[in-house]
Amino acid sequence: MTGNGPLMTERLNLGRIRNPWVVVAAYNEAPVVGSVVSGICRAGYAVVVVDDGSSDRTGDIALLAGAVVVRHPINLGQGAALQTGIDYALEQRADALVTFDADGQHSPAAIAALLAAIEQPGIDFALGSRFLTGATANLPMSRRILLSAAVWFTRASTGLPVTDTHNGLRAMTARGARAISLRQNRMAHASEILLQIAQSGLRFVEVPVNIEYSTYSLGKGQRISDALTILIDLFARRLYR
Amino acid sequence: MIAQLLLTALLALVLVYAWSAHRTVPIIGLLASGAALAGLYFVWVPEHATALAAFVGIGRGSDLIVYTWVVISLLIVLNLHLKLRLQLDMITRLARAVAIDRAKESRREPGAPRKRRPVPLSRKAEAPPIELQAK
């Protein structure tokens, strides 16, 4: 187990995974980050929260809730925060990592399912999908259309037959994590991860996960205008070495 | 003749800029080089500029050169934008290193003495330098 020392109450007995870490990128999530971290700790996982230069008490609350907190001195974006969390977890000799959103829309119960998926031999990534079961609650039609367009774009640009993109719930082995090097600081990191998975040649599976949309999480989520920014970021990244 | 010499000097500067940009952003270097070379050609062979301008429907050769200059300026702006992104990359790596170091320090046992060996000034750094450099 890790030095974080969470209680082993709900965590499944995982075979070859001995030291899983949950990585949470958080920016001004003080209202919800405490309950999110508590839920993950109760499920029995070590959690590192990357406080991405929040102006509220996100980092302090996450620390009190039981997380290891890594604080960016300035706000860099979700992609940068996730990479920081991944780097930190790998330094702690994590053998599996799960990325988890800080806005409370993910269930800690999904972590075990994702980790079980990468327990399979030869699988290095497990990607959460909202659309495998259709069980996602409160998904507005506008968000569904936006996500469908993102899925189409990702399939066209990476060749990966994914059913969902921009889903923050993912698990990866340490080998998979080392194959990922996020340089998209902002929201385009979700597409960048899929591109790097495709380039790495490592295998992935999709795992159905339920996302509970709330007024809070929808308010923090992406909009159609963000899609344009993501496309510009992805295009600009291809221009320079 | 004065205008031709002035434009030649300016376009030569653009060529130098394109050469330096080529190392970091090859596409910008290539496009800026092409535009600058085309500009040089048309500055000294204006009748060809007029012919080409008439062919593409612009009208006057001098207008074509102005438009070419606008394109070069836009490419330089794009290159500056990309340089800013490279600098953001470096800032990100720096902030990440600071954040992780601080987190590791804060996780040490409270009260445990911090052992830091003095590093001789002549000693080379053990950590590899950051390869990414703004150019």
Q: Tell me the mean pLDDT in the region B79-101.
A: 91
A21 class by beta-carbon count within 10 Å (0-12 exposed, 13-18 middle, 19+ buried): buried
With a cut of 70, say whether residue B52 has pLDDT above it: yes
Answer whether residue B91 shows pLDDT above 80: yes
pLDDT at B121: 47
pLDDT at B118 exceeding the cut of 70: no
List the beta bridge partners of residue A192.
none
pLDDT on residue A105: 87
Inter-chain touch B100–A87, beta carbons under 8 Å: yes
Pick from B24, B99, B107: CB nearest A71? B99
ipTM, two decimals: 0.75
Taking residues B16-30, what's their average pLDDT? 82
Distance, in angstroms, between B80 CA and closest chain A CA?
12
Query: In the prediction, which pLDDT does B125 show?
Result: 42
| R_g (Cα) of chain B, nearest Å | 25
Min Cα distance A213 → chain B (Å) is: 30
- The answer to whether residue A50 neighbours chain B at the CB level (below 8 Å) is yes
| pLDDT at res. A118 | 94
Look at residue B2 and tell me whether its pLDDT is greater than 90.
no
Return per-residue pLDDT of chain A as tens, 241 residues: 344 444 444 555 557 888 999 999 999 999 999 999 999 999 999 999 999 999 999 999 999 999 999 999 999 999 999 999 999 999 999 999 999 999 988 999 999 999 999 999 999 999 998 887 655 556 677 777 777 777 888 778 778 888 887 788 999 999 999 999 988 777 778 888 998 999 899 999 999 888 777 777 666 666 666 666 666 776 666 665 5
* Model pLDDT, residue A241: 52
Is the Cβ of A156 closer than 8 Å to some Cβ of chain B? Answer: no
Instruction: Report pLDDT digits (tens) over A32-41.
Output: 999 999 999 9
B130 pLDDT tier (thresholds 50, 70, 90) = very low
Nearest to B92 by CA among A111, A3, A52: A52
Separation of alpha carbons A88 and A216, rounded Å: 28
Distances (CA, A) of A223 to A70, A147, A150, A193, A218: 28, 10, 12, 20, 9
Per-residue pLDDT, A14? 59
Cβ-defined contact of B103 to A68 (cutoff 8 Å): yes
Closest CA in chain B for residue A4: B107
* pLDDT, position A117: 94
Q: Collect all residues of chain B within an 8 Å Cβ-Cβ radius of residue A91.
A: 100, 104
Whether A84 and B100 lie within 8 Å, measured CB to CB = yes
How far A130 CA sits from the closest chain B CA (Å)? 31
Distance, in angstroms, between A83 CA and closest chain B CA?
A: 9
Sort out which chain B residues have CB atoms less than 8 A from A69's CB and list them: 103
The reported pLDDT for the residue numbered A217 is: 67
